[in-house]
Amino acid sequence: MRLQKATRCALYAILELASDPKRQLSANEIAEKYDISTNHLAKVLRSLGREGLVEAVRGAGGGYRFSGNAKRTTLLDVIRLFETVETVSAGEREPGDETAEGLALTQVTMEIEAIERATFNSITLDTMLKLVGRYRK
Amino acid sequence: MRLQKATRCALYAILELASDPKRQLSANEIAEKYDISTNHLAKVLRSLGREGLVEAVRGAGGGYRFSGNAKRTTLLDVIRLFETVETVSAGEREPGDETAEGLALTQVTMEIEAIERATFNSITLDTMLKLVGRYRK
DNA sequence: TGTAAATAGGTAACTCAGTACCGAATTGCC
DNA sequence: GGCAATTCGGTACTGAGTTACCTATTTACA
């Protein structure tokens, strides 16, 4: 479960924004809080914007605001945007895939992948924020 | 659950060898069956040899033989040799890790990792071979 | 007109896959 | 016994692809 940095950035940003949908933050403010590259984060935020999860306000005093549904959006919804979640169905064939051993192995990894997806999909931003709260204090 | 090619190679090889511990196969024979690079496979087999999972016989007519315990060795035992299985404990700190959001996220991914490990650890080579058998025929 | 996001392009670092090569051990043939 | 062929052992290296991140330019807003 090695998430890409971009994915972590995205999750940080969206959790931060979703924690108070009225608040508007610039990419810089978010980047500073989590000690990540502003440029990199900006790219990530654009992806989130395209999906309608955040809303961007351009110009002076601009920034980003959460514009999704925290109770409906799951971690998987966010992770999907940056990570290849389905290895196999993606038409990726490897040598040895058609041997009995290859098929058996693929079955096992597919089952694990399914669990991963199910887990991430069971956690909404809302429940995640509650978990975050427990670490705050 | 994207396994490296080396890991897949290793699993193919060890399953092949474990399926009949009396049989001795050269790296070349195994590589051909699974359509993978002999060089690459050789490298992998050396790692397995160092762990005592296979036994190498040098010289003409040499090759590899399974020398482990198929009922005791799990997929995790093999995967571990080629894959970083524990991201967090490996002392990997990322920016934003100490924020409440970072901690919460780490907890979730760690739980998924634990499931992965548990799954791979629950499958011995022996049970895997039975699964392989179902794909044969 | 300054600030900040949108967009595009590009690069440095790293990882992974695979190759090349040489040495050591073993076998079998002459 | 001597020698060639075979196969493993180990190191070093190369090339492709990915990841992370920066730079520069454009667009929009106050």
Percentage, residues of chain B above pLDDT 70? 94
- Which of A15, A112, A133 faces B1 most closely, judged by CB atoms? A112
Q: Could you give the ipTM of this predicted complex?
A: 0.87
Task: Please state which of the ranges A9-23, A30-44, A63-77, A89-103 shows the lowest mean pLDDT.
Answer: A89-103
**Across the interface, do B104 and A131 touch by the CB < 8 Å criterion?**
yes
How many angstroms separate the CA atoms of B13 and B66, rounded? 9
Classify A83 as helix, strand or coil. Answer: coil
**pLDDT one-digit tens code per residue, B101-134:** 999 999 999 999 999 999 999 999 999 999 999 9
Domain ranges of chain B: 5-84+124-135
**Across the interface, do A84 and B2 touch by the CB < 8 Å criterion?**
yes
Total count of residues recorded for chain A: 137
Strand pairing report for B54-57 and A54-57: unpaired
**B6 and A117 in contact (C-beta within 8 Å)?**
no
Domain A5-84+125-135, what fold?
Arc Repressor Mutant, subunit A (1.10.10)
**pLDDT one-digit tens code per residue, A12-37:** 999 999 999 999 999 999 999 998 99
- Which of A101, A109, A111 faces B16 most closely, judged by CB atoms? A101
B38-50 vs B27-34: helix crossing angle, rounded to 10:
120
How many angstroms separate the CA atoms of B125 and B66, rounded? 11
Alpha-carbon torsion B115, B121, B122, B123, what sign? positive
Task: Please state which of the ranges B58-62, B74-78, B83-87 shows the lowest mean pLDDT.
Answer: B83-87
Strand pairing report for B63-66 and A54-57: unpaired
Residue B25 above 80 pLDDT?
yes
List all residues of chain A from 55 to 114 with a beta carbon under 8 Å from chain B.
Answer: 75, 84, 87, 94-96, 99-105, 107-113
Domain B5-84+124-135's class? mainly alpha
How many angstroms separate the CA atoms of A30 and A17, rounded? 9
